[in-house]
């Protein structure tokens, strides 16, 4: 117990057509060793999920949805439920990504409903939090993150302890797609804060076992340094996960 296996996750966002998605996941799968000490995950667009699942075959690659609705079914035009994600082979779902929060007005309270639904279904949520450049520069990083964590995970406090399979992702908004990266030390400082918050809120076992990923301009040139930090348990990769020649070296860092 207590071993946090590194997780390398690729969020493809609204990119790659079905053929390109299949080719990419086949190339990733062919690069993986059977006895790998890390987990690999991809989150394609909804329309590519069935084809990517088929293309994964026996490779050890987890499949995630990029979002979901909290209800099981109903009159929610344009939405997809967690159960629908499971039916096409998803084991994980990304929730509260900063693009959902900033571009689509998704509040932490809505993220909380989705997290509760995902856990009820047995989907593993990857819950994202992060601060803007203005919030960081005004010294409010920790206050903002604490507010997001409290509101995005409040159902656990109300109903049950946080399952240790839950994954948190720290994504500084100022580092997503901007080419700016939090330094490994900056990221580690925030990850320590998040782990301490978990301990304070849920106790020592989740604090020890819950994985915290870093996301924000992760690339082959900075992955090794990021992963050398004791509280960075993996990465959520955006742009660099769309090209095999960038994502595969990230997956195999340090090998």
**CATH code, 240:** 3.20.20.70
Place of tokens 């062919």: 30
252 is catalytic: no
66 lies in a domain? yes
| Cβ contacts of 128 within 8 Å, gap of 6 or more | 94, 95, 96, 97, 98, 168, 169, 170, 171, 215, 236
96 lies in a domain? yes
pTM strictly above 0.85? yes
**Active-site option among 92, 97, 99, 106:** 97
What's the pLDDT score for residue 162? 85
Range of the domain at 138: 7-251
38 lies in a domain? yes
55 lies in a domain? yes
160 lies in a domain? yes
171 is catalytic: yes
Q: What is the pLDDT along the chain (255 residues), one digit of tens a residue?
A: 458 999 999 999 999 999 999 999 999 999 998 878 999 999 999 999 999 999 999 999 999 999 999 999 999 999 999 999 999 999 999 999 999 999 999 999 999 999 999 999 999 999 999 999 999 999 999 999 999 999 999 988 755 678 899 999 999 998 877 777 789 999 999 999 999 999 999 999 999 999 999 999 999 999 999 999 999 999 999 999 999 999 999 999 998
235 lies in a domain? yes
Report which secondary-structure segment, H or E, holds 214: strand 211-215
Distance of alpha carbon 232 from alpha carbon 211, whole angstroms: 8
What's the pLDDT score for residue 94? 99
2 lies in a domain? no
1 lies in a domain? no
**Active-site option among 99, 106, 135, 171:** 171
Domain count, the chain: 1
What's the pLDDT score for residue 1? 44
User: Please, are residues 16 and 24 in contact by the beta-carbon 8 Å criterion?
Assistant: yes
């Amino acid at each position: 117990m207590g071993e946090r296996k590194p997780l390398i996750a690729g969020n493809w966002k609204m990119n790659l057509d079905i053929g390109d998605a299949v080719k990419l996941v086949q190339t990733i799968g062919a690069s993986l060793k059977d006895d790998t000490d890390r987990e690999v995950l991809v989150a394609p667009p909804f329309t590519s999920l069935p084809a990517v699942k088929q293309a994964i075959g026996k490779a050890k690659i987890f499949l995630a949805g990029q979002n979901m609705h909290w209800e099981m079914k109903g009159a929610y035009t344009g939405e997809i439920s967690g159960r629908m994600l499971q039916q096409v082979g998803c084991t994980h779902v990304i929730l509260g990504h900063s693009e959902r929060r900033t571009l689509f007005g998704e509040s932490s309270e809505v993220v909380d409903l989705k997290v509760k639904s995902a856990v009820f279904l047995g989907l593993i949520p990857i819950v994202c939090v992060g601060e803007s450049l203005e919030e960081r520069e005004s010294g409010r990083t920790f206050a903002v993150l604490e507010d997001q964590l409290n509101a995005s995970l409040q159902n656990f406090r109300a109903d049950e302890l946080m399952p240790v399979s839950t994954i948190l992702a720290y994504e500084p908004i100022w580092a997503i797609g901007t080419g700016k990266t939090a330094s490994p030390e900056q990221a580690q400082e925030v990850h320590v804060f998040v782990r301490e918050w978990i301990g304070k809120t849920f106790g020592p076992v989740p604090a020890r076992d819950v994985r915290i990923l870093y996301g924000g301009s992760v690339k082959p040139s900075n992955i090794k340094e990021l992963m050398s930090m004791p509280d960075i348990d993996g990465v959520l990769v955006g742009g660099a996960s769309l090209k095999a020649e960038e994502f595969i070296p990230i997956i195999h860092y340090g090998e």
